[in-house]
């Protein structure tokens, strides 16, 4: 058969309806901004302010502005160190619970313009923005709802005249933002303009979240909103940086308002960690953890900076479980990251980069037990290696436990397996097993549950095999897998 006839026949097949339509999406689905967030994978959360100078973690709100004077502040050094660590963005704590604003806000005197920094002309947020632009890094902001400085805190005017206006300033002047961060610490003792008392608020109603979040939607429509229970990204339920071994991107919040809208309710630690299979909303987990024991810099913790090996472990337990890693960085009183921090970040970044540089599955011949429809190219297993996150292998609707084999043609040694689903079609797979062809037979080397946007399986031992098999052992509907990669972890220097 000559080429022309073959092409004509193939076109005919396409036209006569042999090519099958894409699988129907399953369950809650990610928004465009959540897809971008998923691809970001790792970013940093930068805490710096009066606490850096008072050696505290939570300032009372009565700190003198004059203490904040980072004489050598370099956003380039800080953001550059994050970039060297492989992080793709930074979230700047623009205001922590003590109420001090790192930008010259109109909403309160308690801000950087009242400090000696650059003779009152400084704007730390602007410097971060410029550094992010120069270095090609994404930027986000954290503006604490709880404000222990404001005399108005606890009254409705605090929300309408202070907090929301601060968000407006930040979202209008320092974008584009990829995430806006809302911490869950709320109300208690504080300075409150000199009142020095305890103020309690109802955290689910006081801030009028729907309207508050509306500001982000209007001014920064591409930013994901992080909160204890979303609405876009949920807290993982611990500050140890770890998602559950099983971690679903879907979630149903609990509260009297449960299920009415994402973002309402509170997080139950374990459920934040694992999510809910078939949860009502697409609301993946963010794993926050500080590089040091505290979020703010304390000289006494210089020797307790997490090692590259610890960071790598956290990487597998967050990014490797379909969540994002949000690592806390703590510039010192000079306004720089300490050498310990810079070194650890660089070494960690290097290991991740080297590990994932060579996909050992590349060049493999791949055979699948089932390929969707007749159009084997469109949904074929060749889509799995070195393609984007949304080019995928799919099976017929009635096939939920298919298998596929990578023939590597020669023995290759690996100890990391990467799997990804095309999450545009939802989270479909419940469980998988990986087998290696060793001594003339299949040997199971790993199993895993939830896959979602990313699943890294770190094997206990190196595996050397010329054939590797993936078995999807349980799925709610026909799988739509976009990645099956094999890697060999780079060696740690220490
Ligand atoms: C919490 C805060 O109370 C901590 O101080 C820190 O900012 C952490 C990232 O979020 O809610």
What is the Å distance from ligand 1's center to 234 Cα? 14
What does the H/E/C string look like for 29-96?
A: CCCHHHHHHHHHCEEEEECCCHHHHHCCCCCCCCCCHHHCCCCCCCHHHHHHHHHHCCCCEEEEEEEC
Q: Can you give the pLDDT at residue 262?
A: 52
Residue 300 has pLDDT above 80, yes or no: yes
Ligand 1 nearest atom to the CA of residue 184, by list position: 11
Supply the residue whose CA is at minimum distance from atom 11 of ligand 1. Answer: 183
What is the Å distance from ligand 1's center to 99 Cα? 13
d(CA 333, CA 350): 28
Please, what is the average pLDDT of the chain? 93
Determine if ligand 1 sits within 6 Å of the CB of residue 288: yes
Read off the pLDDT of each residue in 165-180 and give the average, rounded to a whole number.
Answer: 98
pLDDT in tens, 302-312: 999 999 999 99
d(CA 403, CA 13): 27
Is residue 397 within 8 A of residue 459, CB to CB? The reply is no
What is the Å distance from ligand 1's center to 185 Cα? 7
Q: Can you give the pLDDT at residue 488?
A: 98
Residues 6+ apart with CB under 8 A from 304: 292, 293
pLDDT in tens, 430-468: 999 999 999 999 999 999 999 999 999 999 999 999 999
Q: What is the reported pTM?
A: 0.94
Tokens standing for residue 149: 């400085």
Ligand 1 nearest atom to the CA of residue 93, by list position: 7
Residue 38 has pLDDT above 60, yes or no: yes
Which of 90, 185, 234, 297 is the best mutation target for the ligand 1 pocket, counting ligand atoms within 8 Å of the beta carbon and taking the most? Answer: 185
Dihedral (C-alpha) 293, 295, 297, 300: value to the nearest 10 degrees? -20
Residues 6+ apart with CB under 8 A from 409: 363, 364, 365, 466
Q: Can you give the pLDDT at residue 492?
A: 82
The beta strands (E) that lie in 200-304 are given as 224-227, 233-235, 250-251, 281-282, 285-290
Q: Can you give the pLDDT at residue 6?
A: 40
Confidence bin at 155 (pLDDT 50/70/90): very high
Alpha-carbon separation of residue 164 from 156, 158, 172, 224 (angstroms): 11, 8, 12, 17
Q: Can you give the pLDDT at residue 4?
A: 39
Residue 284 has pLDDT above 50, yes or no: yes
Is residue 122 within 8 A of residue 115, CB to CB? The reply is yes
Residue 13 has pLDDT above 80, yes or no: no
What is the Å distance from ligand 1's center to 328 Cα? 10
Alpha-carbon separation of residue 445 from 367, 459, 465 (angstroms): 20, 8, 11
Which of 183, 234, 238, 291 is the best mutation target for the ligand 1 pocket, counting ligand atoms within 8 Å of the beta carbon and taking the most? Answer: 183
d(CA 423, CA 105): 40
Which domains, ranges and CATH numbers included, belong to the chain?
4-28+358-487 (2.60.120.260), 32-355 (3.20.20.80)
Q: Can you give the pLDDT at residue 185?
A: 76
d(CA 317, CA 80): 24
Ligand 1 nearest atom to the CA of residue 47, by list position: 7
Confidence bin at 263 (pLDDT 50/70/90): low
Residue 265 has pLDDT above 60, yes or no: no
Is residue 233 within 8 A of residue 224, CB to CB? The reply is yes
d(CA 114, CA 130): 22
Residues 6+ apart with CB under 8 A from 206: 159, 186
pLDDT in tens, 16-27: 334 579 999 999
Supply the residue whose CA is at minimum distance from atom 3 of ligand 1. Answer: 185
Q: DSSP readout, 284-309?
A: -EEEEEESSSSSS--GGGGGGPPPHH
Residue 12 has pLDDT above 70, yes or no: no
Tokens standing for residue 258: 């449960």
Quote the DSSP letter at residue 259.
Answer: T
Read off the pLDDT of each residue in 306-327 and give the average, rounded to a whole number.
Answer: 98
Read off the pLDDT of each residue in 364-379 and give the average, rounded to a whole number.
Answer: 92
């Amino acid at each position: 058969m000559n080429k022309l006839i073959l092409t004509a026949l193939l076109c005919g097949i396409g036209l006569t309806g042999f090519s099958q339509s894409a699988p129907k999406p399953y369950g809650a689905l990610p928004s465009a901004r959540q897809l971008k967030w998923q691809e970001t994978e790792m970013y940093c959360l930068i805490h710096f302010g009066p606490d850096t100078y008072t050696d505290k973690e939570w300032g009372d709100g009565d700190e003198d502005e004059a203490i904040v004077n980072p004489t050598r502040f370099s956003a380039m050094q800080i953001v550059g160190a994050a970039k060297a660590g492989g992080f793709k963005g930074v979230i700047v704590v623009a205001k922590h619970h003590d109420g001090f604003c790192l930008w010259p806000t109109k909403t309160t005197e308690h801000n950087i313009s009242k400090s000696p920094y650059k003779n009152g002309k400084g704007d730390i947020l602007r410097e971060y923005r410029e550094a992010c632009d120069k270095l090609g890094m994404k930027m986000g902001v954290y503006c604490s709802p709880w404000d222990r400085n404001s005399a108005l805190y606890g009254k409705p005017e605090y929300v309408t005249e202070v907090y929301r206006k601060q968000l407006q300033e930040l979202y209008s002047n320092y974008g584009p933002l990829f995430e806006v961060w809302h911490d869950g610490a709320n109300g208690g003792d504080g300075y409150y303009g000199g009142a020095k008392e305890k103020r309690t608020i109802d955290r689910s109603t006081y801030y009028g979240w729907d309207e508050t979040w509306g500001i982000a939607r209007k001014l920064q429509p591409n930013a994901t909103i992080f909160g204890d229970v979303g609405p876009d990204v949920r807290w993982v339920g611990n500050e140890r940086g770890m998602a559950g071994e099983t971690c679903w991107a879907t979630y149903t919040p609990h509260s009297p308002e449960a299920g009415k809208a994402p973002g309402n309710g509170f997080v139950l630690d374990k459920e934040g960690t694992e999510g809910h299979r078939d949860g009502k909303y697409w609301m993946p987990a963010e794993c926050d953890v500080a590089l040091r024991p505290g979020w703010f810099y304390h000289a006494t913790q210089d020797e307790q900076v997490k090692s590259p090996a610890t960071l790598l472990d956290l990487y597998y337990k967050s990014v490797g479980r379909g969540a994002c890693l949000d690592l806390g960085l703590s510039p010192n009183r000079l306004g720089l990251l300490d050498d310990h921090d810079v070194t650890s970040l660089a070494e960690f970044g290097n290991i991740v980069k080297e590990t994932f540089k060579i996909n050992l599955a590349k060049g493999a011949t791949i055979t699948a037990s089932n390929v969707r429809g007749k159009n084997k190219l469109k949904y074929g297993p060749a889509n799995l290696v070195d393609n984007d996150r949304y080019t995928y292998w799919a099976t017929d609707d009635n096939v939920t436990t298919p298998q596929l084999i990578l023939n590597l043609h020669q023995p290759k040694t690996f100890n990391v397996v990467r799997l990804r689903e095309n999450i545009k079609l939802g989270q479909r797979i419940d469980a998988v097993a990986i087998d290696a062809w060793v001594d003339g037979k299949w040997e199971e080397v790993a199993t895993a549950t939830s896959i979602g946007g990313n699943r890294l399986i770190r094997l206990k031992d190196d595996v050397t095999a010329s054939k590797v098999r993936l078995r999807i052992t349980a799925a709610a509907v026909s799988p739509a897998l976009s990645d099956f990669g094999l890697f060999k972890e780079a060696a740690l220097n220490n």
